[in-house]
Amino acid sequence: MVIPNIHPQSVQYIEMKKAFFAGAWSHHNAVVEIGEPHVSEEEGCAFLTKIQAEIQAFKAQIMREYGERN
């Protein structure tokens, strides 16, 4: 995947790619872990709810910042 206006060999592109895949790897491992027998359904749901709230808060912050700039 190439991001428009960012050269694929630039430091910014390389660092963004690292950050994306680090997050994807972390989330994947967490989902695998909550599927293990030693994690209760309640604990798994609580974890996913916490992640959802964090993502929603981040999105809200980005939207506020976008609104302030435009």
Indicate whether 16 pLDDT > 70: yes
Would you list the DSSP string of the chain? Answer: ---TTS-TTSHHHHHHHHHHHHHHHHHHHHHHHHTSTTS-HHHHHHHHHHHHHHHHHHHHHHHHHHHHH-
The per-residue pLDDT for 3 is 67
Indicate whether 1 pLDDT > 70: no
Mean pLDDT, the chain, integer: 91
- pLDDT (tens digit, 9 = 90+) per residue, 46-60? 999 999 999 999 999
CB 29 within 8 Å of CB 21: no
The per-residue pLDDT for 6 is 76
In this prediction the pTM is: 0.69
